[in-house]
Chain A
């Protein structure tokens, strides 16, 4: 029996760029290059490994985002995913986490799935909630924040390393999994992979394809609103000394002056 894996991947502004907000207080996507959220590369990697270990599996990558978000899909396809789905609609601009999870869940259902794999968090919103929201919406188990994952005989198992304990988890498919950056280095696309990706199918869906009304998503209909965004004032230049044998003592003096000692 074939295993249908859907990997959710997000297109985000490069964290090393100068990210800021647009006038409507959504993320300004024009000023900074976008890319596949690095943490989703780990999700793609685990999907590919699970697919390689299965008799017959198919890996679909799914993104909800603007036109450019195709770049994120191409990257995932060049890593080795089989096909891609791009959900794009002008009415999606400014959608929050609750709305995004609705769109993703509808698209996952339409695509058909046995396993959904997500990253632990995006590198822009960094909420870390979408996988749990998907599990709730899809009505399937969540097996999240895994640093180790495997799938066998319709069962997913994994290790979740928490603050106070490390737990071993188990659930039956279908399920939603999310993996951390401890799950294993993501592969680099090979030249062959990049060439092959150009021929792989990318489907485009809009809200009507998913039976979602425009008034369920977008900035106007979000469940949250941002009233203000202010740039953090640059830190005032600190004191910097060169160690010429007394650096540790000078630092102690500073700490004492600040009452830390």
Chain B
């Protein structure tokens, strides 16, 4: 069976969930071969093998952490040359897109970004994309070269499928452009202990209606009662009430959880672009005319300062 390269997104050896989802999708079109780079690459092997990687190509070097993007492109190119895969799958994160795009150019291939599903087709893998703020769904294919496809988080279920996970050291020669952009310092983001926004099964978001940074405690309390991630609209982020990394929408994260709860958010097209594919949508807004209500499965027209705390209390009571 054809081999399919899967680029591994990991933090010091801890594989992030979107990569495990890619392994599920990769198995639909061939045999997954994972590529893990940088510090902790060897530590990813067990998780990757458990989820279907027949082979794991690893390479550790300081360049991956010290310089932007290009060293990873060099390595992925070496992996493509070593394996001659039927496709290359990369998580559709900001960095993943840049790595994949540059790789595609080097190997003469087309790219598809933000796929939400992937199937084998007669003429190669067929990707589903959700476009124009999720108002359309398209089926597309790469027609030249080795398909390079970037897949959004939450596009497939993570499935255990134990495989050999044979480790092979990848041999990489860095190009002279690899050291072009130096990363002079890095400040790690402090963990909130809450689930990762793009990976969470439930997302609870607040907007301008929340009215202030302190009031976000209400949104956080609701999120915690459900084990959810916290999101925010751009209006709330621009006002400085919540970090930009939590912004949901076109220029923020796009999320596709089982449940999305929007409070004090009007539902502008750019916000919808990031949450419209959520399975169940719930909103609390005091304006019955707010466009968010066009999307909801359940909506409460009311003041969030009354509704949200009551909801949180009720959830806690029910959970005991």
Contacts and interface: CB of A to CB of B under 8 A. Distances in A.
Contact of A127 (B113, B259, B294, B313): B113
B140 A225 contact: yes
Interface string A132-143: 110111011111
B182 A247 contact: no
B105 A136 contact: yes
B71 to A, nearest CB: 13
A53 B31 CA distance: 54
Interface in B298-320: 298-303, 306-315, 318-319
A168 B185 contact: yes
Contact of A141 (B142, B180, B188): B180
Interface string B237-257: 000000011000011000000
Interface of B: 11, 68-70, 73, 93-95, 97-98, 100-102, 104-106, 109-114, 126, 130-145, 177, 180-189, 196, 202, 226, 234, 244-245, 250-251, 258-259, 269-270, 273, 276, 280-282, 284, 288, 293-303, 306-315, 318-319
A168 to B, nearest CB: 4
A167 B298 contact: no
A145 B69 CA distance: 12
A232 B133 CA distance: 10
A135 B103 CA distance: 12
B300 A250 contact: yes
A167 B244 contact: no
A226 B183 contact: no
Contacts, number: 262
B110 A167 contact: no
B298 A101 contact: no
A248 B105 contact: no
A8 B67 CA distance: 25
16 contacts: A21-B136, A123-B250, A128-B98, A136-B101, A139-B177, A143-B68, A161-B245, A162-B94, A164-B188, A164-B189, A224-B143, A228-B139, A240-B298, A246-B310, A248-B300, A248-B311
A230 B302 contact: no
B35 to A, nearest CB: 18
A162 B95 CA distance: 8
A126 interface: yes
Contacts of B259: 255, 258, 260
A185 to B, nearest CB: 9
A39 interface: yes
B141 A227 contact: yes
Contact of B139 (A132, A223, A227, A241): A227
A175 B177 CA distance: 12
Contacts of A208: none
Contacts of B308: 248
Interface of A: 15-16, 19-21, 25, 39, 96-98, 101, 120-121, 123-124, 126-129, 131-133, 135-137, 139-145, 147, 157, 160-172, 175, 180-182, 222-232, 235, 238-243, 245-252, 254-256, 258, 260-261
A181 B70 CA distance: 24
Contacts of B11: 164
Given A157-B184, A229-B139, A252-B311, 14 more contacts: A15-B273, A127-B111, A127-B114, A136-B105, A143-B68, A165-B187, A167-B187, A169-B183, A172-B180, A222-B143, A230-B136, A240-B299, A248-B306, A251-B298
Secondary structure at the A interface, as helix, strand, loop or mixed, is: mixed
A231 B70 CA distance: 38
A162 B98 CA distance: 13
Given A247-B300, A247-B310, A258 B280 contact: yes
A252 B183 contact: no
Given A223-B110, A223-B144, A251 B97 contact: no
Q: Which of A16, A133, A232 has the most CB of B within 10 A?
A: A232
A15 B244 contact: no
A255 B299 contact: no
B271 to A, nearest CB: 11
A245 B315 CA distance: 16
Nearest to B183: A167
Contacts of A133: 101-102, 105
A243 B310 CA distance: 11
A124 B270 CA distance: 11
B300 A241 contact: yes
A249 B140 contact: no
A57 to B, nearest CB: 22
Which are the 7 A-B pairs with shortest beta-carbon distances? A243-B302, A248-B310, A223-B110, A141-B180, A252-B314, A248-B311, A129-B101
